Amino acid sequence: MPVLVMKFGGTSVANLDRIRRAAKRVGVEVAKGYDVIVIVSAMSGKTNEMVGWVNETSPLYDAREYDAVVSSGENVTAGLMALTLQEMDVPARSWQGWQVPLITNSAHSAARIEEIPTDNINAKFGEGMRVAVVAGFQGVSPEGRITTLGRGGSDTTAVAFAAAFDAERCDIYTDVDGVYTTDPRIADKARKLDKIAFEEMLELASLGAKVLQTRSVELAMRYNVKLRVLSSFEEQSDEAGTLVCAEEEIMESNVVNGIAYSRDEAKMTLISVADRPGIAASIFGSLSDAGVNVDMIIQNISEEGRTDMTFSCPTDQVARAEKAMAESKDSGEINFHDLVADIDVAKVSAVGIGMRSQSGVAAKMFKTLCDEGINIKVIATSEIKISVLIDRKYMELAVQSLHDAFELDKAA
Amino acid sequence: MPVLVMKFGGTSVANLDRIRRAAKRVGVEVAKGYDVIVIVSAMSGKTNEMVGWVNETSPLYDAREYDAVVSSGENVTAGLMALTLQEMDVPARSWQGWQVPLITNSAHSAARIEEIPTDNINAKFGEGMRVAVVAGFQGVSPEGRITTLGRGGSDTTAVAFAAAFDAERCDIYTDVDGVYTTDPRIADKARKLDKIAFEEMLELASLGAKVLQTRSVELAMRYNVKLRVLSSFEEQSDEAGTLVCAEEEIMESNVVNGIAYSRDEAKMTLISVADRPGIAASIFGSLSDAGVNVDMIIQNISEEGRTDMTFSCPTDQVARAEKAMAESKDSGEINFHDLVADIDVAKVSAVGIGMRSQSGVAAKMFKTLCDEGINIKVIATSEIKISVLIDRKYMELAVQSLHDAFELDKAA
């Protein structure tokens, strides 16, 4: 039988009523003849609660223990979903990551999936089970410790299962009815997109549009998984939501297709770094070893052998970055005067595959921000996006004015 | 190094402060030179919350999914405890049941421990780890599904680890400072016992004195594990709490050493059962298959080939018992007129190893209840206990008057 993957996020399984509602959606697909793999997140709020406990217990925590703690919410939802389906007479059982086993590398808290053997679950499908409910977000390392895939990792779990089981589609049920040109909570003119290219979704996801985890989109692109984002709170047709697909499948597109933002960025500046060949590798190697996800990097022109190095990272990794830099300074590996953290910044980005063939997008973006009196602190660009760091207090204003300037409320 | 097992119940790990407090106790023992195995329960309330969810989702639940759900609370506490110890510079790591692996049989929700391999944990002790934090209550079946040991199962986990690792002692930290002659919330004259015999503790535990899970005491008795119950809320000396030990180690004892009660009992009566050889085996076999824990059993004298059969079980298993009996009736295996459930009863018991050598205990018990106007519905006795089922509304009165009658406020 054809396989369908359905993923339900935290708000879609926030309580028993919502789990029942989600289970009914699963039942509809089972009735159509699909064998279904359901990937569930933890009930909304649960993972945050546990992350809070871990941070309070141990600010520089052992990531192996972090993973053991924060993965537990998904186990609860998986069991409850299986029970709910059984009550509806749909043969179902739950799998935790280590039971599949979903094997990852040992990069705790941000592990990468290495293998998903399909035999166990396929054997059960063969015995008449119709739904495999899998706890998202988690796996098991070669050492037999529990790993997690990073926040939002259940999306990646879903896409990886869709690829491994050659699923017809991977439906991501969430609390929004699709992908928007920007966050509707910030700009009320935000418009839902019917289709979006993998590349654009990738930039939006990595820039903080929290609809899909970045890696899930990468994975979908690599394995060409048909990915659909839709709401678990509305009755759904087969055309609902937003289809994330290859660029070729999209006929017309605006130059800019979305304005993304990320609120929890920090701008870190290493003042007066002793410049030498390989210094960047030393700095960012040591940050990477400490588990800091560096985003933007800027190096000023070197003067008299010393330079300033600026980078951005999530605010909750500032302590980690400071510790790593202090250790590198103490060990003599990196010589710098000071490390200054500016945690009151936000990132705003314009994204669109149309940028490739159209010039003037950056100029229009900078002028729009300038007209609003917003100072740009850092600029970074890629082929299909332009990002700026600005004071956090201007974030909403920046998103709204850019959305207006690029006329994103109008379809192409 | 000598091994100590320390178990912390739900109230002892109810929040991060209490986990820190418990970790400090562990630190004290580590400083004394012990390698410590810490067994943790879920934060208080968590398991109940999840049991509630399962029951609401599916009243006659698949016990395999129940176990997958309700075991998750212990994983959280185990990770948090390991992190807390690490913060105190005590080398520690967490183990979930399947990681040890604590192998059980496949009797989900009431699984029995079959094996605890010691190599994994001992290898880590050999590498300098000082504390193994193990999630209590859970194990893994030969089929690789998660099992749980029944409510209070963390006590059994603790004693089983103490036996497997040949621990010097197994300290059970809880919210009371020892074992009392009865529940101090019901009888304010209740007195703490310094020592209690395994057999007595066994009867008290099985009768609802919720200090220790019954099976943990059985296991401690079988492997002669030195078991101590003490409070996690007080500074403790090595002589604190109550020592549960072999009868020989207790010099003097009262005839009755404790009055226990169980509030959530149901009295079930099968009216007019067609009597035949093997009928009891049919009835109780089918109840056992359905996972009903039958306690007392009474059969009336058979008249004209039909008899009444009365048994008691926990109130939350009544639906299960009714379903099992209805199915046995439908299949023609058991012929009866009606099944009547009385869920407004409670069990009260007097326990003491002194009963073996002293007569008149039963008579004194019945007279005491009679003087208070309490009607006895069912009587059951063993070598060291007498139990009665009475209307639940008289439970507190019965406990108090029996405590007075047997002068349990005075030491032997």
B364-390 pLDDT, tens digit each: 999 999 999 999 988 888 889 899 999
Q: Is A200 annotated for ligand binding?
A: no
Considering only CB atoms, A69 lies closest to which of B57, B80, B146, namely: B80
Q: Which residue has the higher pLDDT, A232 or B36?
A: B36
Weakest mean pLDDT among A27-31, B23-27, B276-280: B276-280
For chain B, give the percent of residues with pLDDT over 90: 70
Average pLDDT over residues B263-282: 89
Give the sign of the dihedral formed by CA A94, CA A99, CA A103, CA A106.
Answer: positive
For the segment A235-255, the average pLDDT, to the nearest whole number, is 80
In whole angstroms, what is the distance from residue A14 CA to residue A261 CA? 26
Q: What is residue B196's predicted lDDT score, i.e. its pLDDT?
A: 92
pLDDT tens by residue, B206-264: 665 567 888 899 999 999 999 999 988 877 676 789 999 888 888 777 789 999 998 88
With beta carbons under 8 A apart, name residues in chain B contacting A61.
83
The pLDDT of residue B214 is 82
Q: Is B53 on the interface with A (CB under 8 A)?
A: yes
Whether residue A89 lies within 8 A of chain B, CB to CB, comes out as no
pLDDT score at B175: 83
Which of A50, A80, A94 minimises the CB distance to B53?
A: A80
- Pairs across A and B, CB distance < 8 A: 105
The confidence score (pLDDT) of residue A133 equals 98
Assign B324 a pLDDT band (cuts: 50, 70, 90). very high
* More reliable by pLDDT, A176 or A171: A171
pLDDT at position A275: 85
Non-local CB neighbours of B257 within 8 Å, separated by 6+ positions: B181, B193, B196, B200, B351, B352, B353, B354, B408
Q: Which two tokens stand for residue A354?
A: 């149309």
H helix or E strand, kind and range, residue A324: helix A318-330
Provide the shortest C-alpha distance from residue B76 to chain A (in Å): 4
Tell me the pLDDT band of A305, cut-offs 50, 70 and 90. confident
Is A80 in the B-facing interface, judged by CB distances under 8 Å? Answer: yes
| Mean pLDDT taken over chain B | 92
CA dist., res. B410 & res. A364, Å (int): 90
Tell me, yes or no, if A146 comes closer than 8 A to chain B by beta carbon: yes
> Which residues of chain B lie closer than 8 angstroms to A16, CB-CB?
53, 56-57
B62 interface with A at CB cutoff 8 Å:
yes
The Cβ of residue B282 has, within 10 Å, a number of other Cβ atoms equal to 14
At residue A65, the pLDDT reads 97
Q: A99: which chain B residues are within 8 Å (Cβ-Cβ)?
A: 144-145
Nearest CA-CA partner of A132 in A93, A161, A100, A105: A93
Instruction: Give the one of A83, A96, A99 whose C-beta lies nearest to B57's C-beta.
Output: A83
What pLDDT is attached to residue A405? 95
pLDDT at A238: 66
Report the percent of chain A where pLDDT is more than 70. Answer: 98
Sign of CA dihedral A238, A243, A247, A251: positive
Looking at the partner chain, which of A16, A66, A73 has a beta carbon nearest the beta carbon of B53?
A16
The set of residues, in sequence order, having a beta carbon less than 8 Å from that of A273 and lying 6+ positions away, is: A279, A283, A306, A307, A308, A309, A334, A335, A336, A337
Band (pLDDT 50/70/90 cuts) for residue A234 is confident
**Third-level CATH fold of A3-249:** Carbamate kinase (3.40.1160)
Residues 161-190 in A contacting B (C-alpha not used; CB under 8 Å): none
Q: Which helix (H) or strand (E) holds A220?
A: helix A214-223
- Structural domain boundaries of chain B? 3-175
Whole-number pLDDT of residue A177? 85
ipTM comes to 0.74
Q: What is the pLDDT of residues A94-120, one digit of tens each?
A: 999 999 999 999 999 999 999 999 999
Chain A residues whose CB is inside 8 A of the B144 CB are 99
> Does residue B66 sit at the A interface (CB-CB below 8 Å)?
yes
Contact at 8 Å (CB) between B290 and B323? yes
Cα maximum dimension of chain A: 75
Contacts of A84 in chain B (CB under 8 A): 57-58
Relative to beta strand A378-382, strand A385-391 is antiparallel
DSSP A178: S
d(CA B13, CA B23): 10
The pLDDT of residue A303: 76
User: Which pLDDT band, with edges at 50, 70 and 90, does B356 fall under?
Assistant: confident
* pLDDT tens-digit series, residues A184-203: 889 999 998 989 999 999 88
Task: Output phi, psi for B267, to 5 deg.
Answer: -105, 120
Q: How many residues does chain A have?
A: 412
Whether residue A208 is predicted with pLDDT greater than 60 in this model: the reply is no
**pLDDT for position A209:** 58
How far apart CA B8 and CA B157 sit, in angstroms, is 11
- B3-175 adopts what CATH topology? Carbamate kinase (3.40.1160)
Instruction: Give the pTM.
Output: 0.76
pLDDT of residue B66: 97
A161 annotated to bind ligand: no
Averaged over A242-249, what is the pLDDT? Answer: 87
Residue A346 has pLDDT above 70, yes or no: yes
Instruction: Between B235 and A12, name the one with better pLDDT.
Output: A12
For residue A101, cis peptide bond before it (omega within 30 degrees of 0): yes
